[in-house]
């Protein structure tokens, strides 16, 4: 069995395996790390089958824009958003928050963003919708959660939406997670 599979993880966190682009780990939906790349390529080598999952062939040629310097803050100074253990944002219900990020090269636009309510930090059971605005390389989104729970904003889910509405780009960013509680 030939186990030599060419792979490259670029500076944007996109994995290329034998010329096929993977925006995120198709098995977990998470961003790539050196370990997950090694595990994934080893699995492919063992199976000797490269299958592109979760990305249509025409999407593979689309530009991927990195969102970085993501900030989450309370809209009103009397309210708090705390960065808690595990990098999870803690906020009370009905607290207005703003998410901002650098969105260099993302075309000016308004985007519907799905923030999923999850169980076990992975299994989506519902979602909340927010409108994000991208203008001059800056993304901003304002919202609040009226119910307690664990919520995630992920590149995987946003890219699924971008694909569905046939936007000519995809995005890459670390998952933003919220624990919403009753104060």
Q: What is the mean pLDDT of each run of 10 residues along the chain (183 residues)?
A: 62 71 73 77 63 46 90 86 92 95 93 93 91 96 96 94 90 94 91
Q: Alpha carbon 178 to chain centroid distance?
A: 13
Residue 172: predicted pLDDT: 93
Q: Would you state the pLDDT for residue 79? A: 80
| Burial class of residue 35 in the structure, from the number of CB atoms within 10 Å of its CB (0-12 exposed, 13-18 middle, 19+ buried) | exposed
Let me know: does 22 contact 159? Beta carbons within 8 Å.
Answer: no
Among 167, 160, 157, 175, which residue's Cα sits nearest to residue 134? Answer: 167
Per DSSP, what are the bridge partners of residue 22? 15
CA 8 vs. chain centroid, Å, equals: 20
pLDDT at 4: 64
The pLDDT of residue 72: 95
Bridge partners (DSSP) listed for residue 157: none
């Amino acid at each position: 069995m030939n186990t030599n599979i060419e792979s490259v993880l670029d500076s944007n966190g996109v994995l290329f395996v034998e010329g096929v682009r993977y925006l995120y780990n198709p098995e977990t939906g998470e961003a790539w790390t050196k370990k997950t790349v090694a595990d994934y390529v080893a699995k492919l080598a063992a199976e000797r089958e490269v299958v592109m999952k979760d990305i249509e062939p025409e999407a593979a040629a689309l530009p991927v824009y990195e969102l970085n310097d993501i900030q989450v803050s309370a809209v009103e100074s009397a309210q708090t958003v705390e960065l808690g253990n595990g990098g999870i944002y803690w906020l009370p219900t009905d607290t207005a928050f703003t998410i901002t990020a650098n969105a260099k090269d993302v075309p000016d636009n308004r985007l519907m963003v799905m923030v999923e309510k999850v169980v076990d930090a992975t299994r989506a059971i519902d979602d909340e919708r927010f409108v994000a605005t991208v203008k001059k390389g800056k993304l901003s989104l304002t919202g609040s959660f009226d119910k307690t729970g664990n919520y995630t904003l992920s590149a995987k889910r946003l890219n699924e939406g971008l694909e569905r509405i046939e936007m000519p780009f995809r995005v890459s960013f670390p998952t933003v997670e919220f624990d919403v509680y009753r104060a």
